A and B are shown apart, each in its own frame.
Chain A
Amino acid sequence: MTVPAVELVNVIKHFGDVVAVNDVNLKIEDGEFFSLLGPSGCGKTTTLRMIAGLETLTSGEILLRGKAIGQTPAFKRPVNTVFQNYALFPHLTVERNVAFGLEMHKIPKEEIKKRVAEALDMVLMGDLSRRRPNQLSGGQQQRIALARALVNRPEVLLLDEPLGALDLKLRKAMQLELKQLQEQVGITFIYVTHDQEEALTMSDRIAVMDEGKILQIGAPQEIYEHPNTRFVADFIGETNFLEGTVSDINGEAIDVSLDDHTIVKAHSDLSVQKGQKVGVVIRPEKINLASSGMVEGKVLEIIYIGTDTRYVVQLKDNTSITVREQNLNSTQANKYKRGDKVGLNWDPANAQVLKK
Chain B
Amino acid sequence: MAIEPRTRRERITLGVLLSPGLFWLIFFFALPFLLIFIYSFLDRGKFGGLVWEFQFDNYIRFADQLYIRIFIRSIIIAAITTVICLLIGYPMAYWMALQPSRTRNTLLLVIMLPFWTNFVIRTYAWRMILARQGQINQLLIALNIITKENAPTYLNTNGAVILGLIYIWLVAMILACYASITGLDRSLLEAAQDLFANPVRTFFRVTLPLTLPGIISGSILVFVPSFGAFVTPDMLGGGKADMIGNLISQQFGEASDWPFGSAISTILMVVMLFGTLLYFRGLRREKVQS
* A contact residues vs B (CB 8 Å cutoff): 52-54, 73-76, 79-81, 83, 85, 87-91, 100-101, 104-105, 132, 134, 148-149, 152
Closest to A158 in B: B194
Contacts beyond the supplied A76-B196, A101-B195, A152-B195: 10 A-B pairs with Cβ under 8 Å: A73-B193, A75-B197, A75-B198, A80-B194, A87-B187, A89-B188, A89-B192, A89-B206, A91-B290, A132-B290
A75 touches B196 (CB 8 A): yes
Chain B, Cβ-Cβ closest to A78: B196
- Tell me, in angstroms, the Cα distance from A317 to B65 when the chains sit together: 104
In the complex, per-residue mask of B180-223: 1 if CB is within 8 Å of any chain A CB, else 0: 00000101101111111110011001100110000000000000
Closest 10 CB pairs of A and B: A101-B195, A87-B191, A104-B196, A74-B193, A87-B187, A90-B290, A81-B194, A91-B209, A100-B195, A75-B193
Pairwise interchain contact B290-A87, C-beta atoms closer than 8 A? no
* 7 pairs of residues in contact across A and B, judged by CB atoms under 8 Å: A52-B194, A73-B198, A81-B194, A100-B195, A101-B195, A105-B196, A152-B195
Tell me, rounded to whole Å, the shortest Cβ–Cβ distance linking B207 to chain A.
11
Among B187, B206, B210, B290, contact of A83 (Cβ-Cβ < 8 Å): B187
Residues in B with CB closer than 8 Å to A87 are 185, 187-188, 190-191
Residues in chain B within 8 A of chain A (CB atoms):
185, 187-188, 190-198, 201-202, 205-206, 209-210, 286, 289-290
Q: How many A-B contacts are there with CB distance less than 8 Å?
A: 66
| Given known A-B contacts A89-B206, A91-B209, A104 and B195 have beta carbons under 8 A apart | yes
Q: How far is the CB of A191 from chain B (nearest CB, A)?
A: 16
Q: Which residue of A lies closest to B190 (CB)?
A: A54
Within the complex, what minimum Cβ distance (angstroms) separates A85 from chain B? 6
Write out the residue numbers on chain B whose beta carbons fall within 8 Å of the beta carbon of A132: 289-290
Query: What's the nearest-Cβ distance from chain A to residue B220, in Å?
Result: 20
What residues on B are CB-neighbors of A149 within 8 Å? 194
CA–CA, A347 to B190, complex, Å?
51
How many angstroms between the C-alpha atoms of A52 and B190 in the bound complex?
10
Q: Is the beta-carbon distance between A90 and B191 smaller than 8 angstroms?
A: no
The residue in B188, B196, B198, B286 that gathers the most chain A C-beta atoms within 10 A of its C-beta is B196
- Nearest B residue to A145 by beta-carbon distance? B191
Closest beta carbon of chain B to A7's beta carbon, Å: 20
Please report the C-alpha to C-alpha distance between residue A80 and residue B192 in the assembled complex, in whole angstroms: 10
Q: Which residues of A contact B193 (CB under 8 A)?
A: 53-54, 73-75
A104, B190: Cβ atoms closer than 8 Å: no
A71 to chain B, nearest CB (A): 15
Distance between Cα atoms of A312 and B177 in the complex (Å): 61
The residue on A at minimum CB distance from B193 is A74
Query: Contact between A134 and B290 (Cβ–Cβ < 8 Å)?
Result: yes
A79 to B196, CA, bound (A): 9
Residues of B within 8 A of A80 (CB): 194-195
- Chain B residues within 8 Å of A83, by CB: 187, 190-191
Residues of B within 8 A of A88 (CB): 191
A225 CA to B35 CA, complexed, in Å? 87
User: Given A91-B289, A91-B290, A134-B290, does the pair A81, B191 have CB atoms closer than 8 Å?
Assistant: yes
CB distance from B196 to the nearest CB of A (A): 4
A79 contacts which chain B residues (CB < 8 A)?
Answer: 194
In the complex the two chains form, is B187's CB within 8 Å of A101's CB?
no
Instruction: Specify which of B191, B192, B205, B209 lies most central, judged by the most chain A CB atoms within 10 Å of its CB.
Output: B191
**In the complex the two chains form, what is the Cα distance from A54 to B209 in whole Å?**
22
The answer for the CA separation of A310 and B210 in the assembled complex, in Å, is 54
Contact of A74 among B188, B194, B286, B290 (CB under 8 A): B194
Q: B286: which A residues are within 8 A, CB to CB? A: 91
- In the assembled complex, how far is the CB of residue B234 from the closest CB belonging to chain A, in whole angstroms? 43
Taking the closest CB of chain B, its distance from the CB of A152, in whole angstroms, is: 7
Alpha-carbon separation in the docked complex, A104 to B290 (Å): 21
A116 to B201: give the CA distance in the assembly, Å.
21
What are the residues of chain A within 8 A of B202 when measuring CB–CB?
A: 75
> Which A residues are in CB contact (< 8 Å) with B198?
73, 75
Least CB distance, B142 to chain A, in whole angstroms: 46
Contact A74 B191 (CB under 8 A): no
Please measure, in the bound complex, the distance between the C-alpha atom of A184 and the C-alpha atom of B193, giving whole angstroms: 27
Q: Please give the distance in Å from B268's CB to the nearest CB on chain A.
A: 34
State in angstroms the CA–CA spacing of A309 and B42 once bound together. 94
Assuming A75-B197, A87-B187, A91-B209, is B289 touching A100 (CB within 8 A)?
A: no
Please give me the residue from chain A that is nearest to B288 by CB atom.
A132
A96 to chain B: closest CB distance in Å? 10
Cβ contact within 8 Å between A101 and B196: yes
Q: Which of B185, B187, B194, B206 has the most CB of A within 10 A?
A: B194
Could you tell me the distance between the alpha carbons of A334 and B184 in the complex, rounded to whole angstroms?
59
Contacts of B209 in A (CB 8 A): 91
